[in-house]
Amino acid sequence: MAARSNEGPAARLATPKARTALSCPACGSADVAQVLGDNGGVTYVCTSCGHSWS
């Protein structure tokens, strides 16, 4: 039987402390999202300034 959690989906998202030490090269913010690129590669997008890189 699976363990039951009373936390909602948002509580299970990775927090900045649980992520790798990744920061935006443009603004230095740690608010970075990892997204799938056009050709299946990994792209990073800063959710603070909108800068993207791979």
pTM for this prediction: 0.58
Per-residue pLDDT for 14 more than 70?
no
50 domain residue, yes or no: yes
**Torsions phi, psi for 30 (to 5 deg):** -90, 0
Task: Specify whether the CB–CB gap between 6 and 19 falls below 8 A.
Answer: no
Average pLDDT along the chain? 78
16 domain residue, yes or no: no
1 domain residue, yes or no: no
Domain holding 39, by residue range, is 22-54
Give me 13's structure tokens.
Answer: 């998202």
Total structural domains within the chain: 1
47 domain residue, yes or no: yes
43 domain residue, yes or no: yes
Nearest to 46 by CA among 29, 37, 36: 29
Give me 18's structure tokens.
Answer: 């649980």
pLDDT band at 39 (very low <50, low <70, confident <90, very high): confident
40 domain residue, yes or no: yes
Give residue 21's pLDDT. Answer: 76
Per-residue pLDDT for 44 more than 70?
yes
% the chain with pLDDT above 90: 52
Mean pLDDT of 12-22: 57
